[in-house]
Amino acid sequence: MLRRFRPGWAAAVVLALLAAPAPAQPDDLVKALATLKGVTKEGASNDAAGPAWKAVVDAGAPAFFPALAAVDDANPTAANWLRSAAEAITEKEKTARKRIDEAALEAFVLDTKYAPSARRLAYEVLSAQDRTAARLLPKLLDDPHPDLRREAIADGLTRLTGMGQALTLDKLFDYTRDKEQAEAIAKELEKAGKTVSVTEHFAFLTHFRVVGPFFSEKGKALTLNYPPETTPAAAEYDGKDGKVAWQPQSTAHKYGQLDLNDKVGRLKNACIYARATVHADKATPAEIRVGSPNAVAIYLNGKKLFGREEYHHGDQMDYHVGKGVLAAGENTVVVKVCQNNQTDSWAQRWQFQARVCDSTGGPIAGLTQVVDGRKLPLGATPQPETKK
């Protein structure tokens, strides 16, 4: 049953959501939202999802913000159902020549406690209703949501064009977490006579100790546990072709790429380990992000944070993410990179890039890479880049 829209109700809902206890909601809406949150990729609650989705949409504008707020801890499948319901409510209101409460939308967009995708949808609804919604963008320059942050920085660049405000460009460079934006801003800074390092901005690991190869029968090395994973300080190990020891390797690639075909050899059915030492001034939550076309596992101080048996599906930056806590002092980061036995020309790449960053993809203060006893900034390159 479609409930009558009451102006201001949605704003009251958002304000109430910001404080405990949770606002009271009609039982049928609460049950419908709970049903949608129970939907899983495996199909649980799928049969009940359709009627529940209709019940939420039929509830109209009063259900808009509760549906968005419910996205917070929902799994991806359930989140899609909830956002879809909020979008359908928006369309119903638009057809009825009504508007979602704009003050409540603004409050929701700016409240980083809510799920990024829900905040993004709220911003899109606000932008469709209010031509001045871009007034919020300066407040989103350091937003944890990458899309909102990227849009805010793009807006900032538009405002700067032709104004020569290098100092503000510096700030936009610091704020950006987007590869293309960082490249574009770095070029503008260079035109202004400033030098910045994209490699350091993204905090890539550039100095490693590499050991291997180790045997990978049928390209399944990710399922085999070799000693460098748990005892990375050992001097040598039993490798694929005899004893192997850690060898220093570094990269001057702008995006920290280490080409293992060049550094280790064009091998198949093999894996290697790359070790880096990161010093933290204090215990620090961090993400270790890896890009590679090969199967990868990530270890921090002997603990496995991530592993994926996947080959030649692209090597996007940050494709693999391991989350952990760096201890105060020196930390050992180990990346395991496996190559399978595919003979296709596009399957010959064996490489990786790795960086240590915060949850937004930004550099973390107080971290350095330890190289031969020296502390260097993360991203410090050994020599000018000569090729990619």
Q: Which two tokens stand for residue 178?
A: 């987007």
Task: Centre a 10 Å sphere on the Cβ of residue 7 and count the other Cβ atoms it contains.
Answer: 10
Map out the domains of the chain as residue ranges: 26-130, 137-196, 202-377
DSSP state of 352: E
Q: Could you give the CA distance from residue 35 to residue 54 in angstroms, rounded to a whole number?
A: 12
298 token code pair: 């990530």
Greater model confidence, 312 or 2:
312
Of the candidates 7, 1, 3, the one whose C-alpha atom is nearest the C-alpha of residue 100 is: 7
Instruction: Please tell me the least confidently modeled range out of 161-175, 237-251, 345-359.
Output: 161-175
Q: pLDDT digits over 104-114, tens only?
A: 999 999 999 99
CATH of 202-377, one of 2.60.120, 1.10.260, 2.40.50, 1.10.10: 2.60.120
Q: Which amino acid is at 361?
A: G
Q: Using one digit for the tens of pLDDT, what is the confidence trace for 84-106?
A: 999 999 999 999 999 999 999 99
Which one of 8-22, 43-57, 209-223, 367-381 scores highest in mean pLDDT? 367-381
CA angle 123, 24, 28 (to 5 degrees): 90
Angstrom distance (rounded) from CA 337 to CA 317:
15
pLDDT value at 352 more than 90: yes
Whether the predicted pLDDT of 250 surpasses 70: yes
Tens of pLDDT, residues 191-208:
989 989 999 999 999 999
Maximum average pLDDT range among 263-267, 341-345, 352-356, 377-381: 352-356
- Helices 76-95 and 116-129, packing angle to 10 deg: 10
Give me the helix-helix angle, 166-175 and 146-160, nearest 10°. 170
Q: Which of residues 29 and 45 earns the better pLDDT score?
A: 29
Looking at the predicted structure, is the pLDDT value of residue 68 above 60? yes
The closest of 215, 212, 260, 217 to 237, measured between CA atoms, is 212
- pLDDT number for residue 25: 61
Given this model, what pLDDT does residue 73 score? 85
Residue 382 confidence (pLDDT): 79
Q: What is the Cα–Cα distance from 276 to 197, expressed in whole angstroms? A: 20
Give the number of C-alpha atoms closer than 13 A to the C-alpha of residue 374, restricted to the C-beta side: 8
Q: How many other CB atoms are found less than 10 A from the CB of residue 92?
A: 17
Strand, helix or coil for residue 56: helix
Q: CA 78, CA 71: separation in Å to the nearest integer?
A: 8
- Residue 21 has a pLDDT of 38
pLDDT given at position 5: 33
Contact 257, 353 (CB under 8 A): yes
Instruction: Name 270's bridge partners.
Output: 215, 339
User: Could you tell me how many helices (H) and strands (E) the chain has, helices first?
Assistant: 12, 14
Cα–Cα distance measured from residue 209 to residue 66, given in angstroms and rounded to the nearest whole number: 51
Mean pLDDT score, 308-322: 90
Q: How far is CA 118 from the centre of its chain?
A: 16
CB 60 within 8 A of CB 5: yes
pLDDT of residue 342: 85
CA distance 257 to 202: 13
pLDDT single digits (tens) 44-63: 667 888 999 999 999 999 99
Helix then strand then coil, % of the chain, to nearest 5 = 40, 25, 40
Share of the chain above pLDDT 90, in %: 68
* Helix runs in 1-145, H state only: 9-17, 27-37, 46-58, 64-69, 76-95, 102-110, 116-129
Lowest mean pLDDT among 231-240, 246-255, 297-306, 320-329: 231-240
**Per-residue confidence at 233, pLDDT binned at 50, 70, 90?**
confident
Q: Residues 60-79: what's their mean pLDDT?
A: 93
Q: What is the DSSP string of 356-368?
A: EE-TTS---TTEE
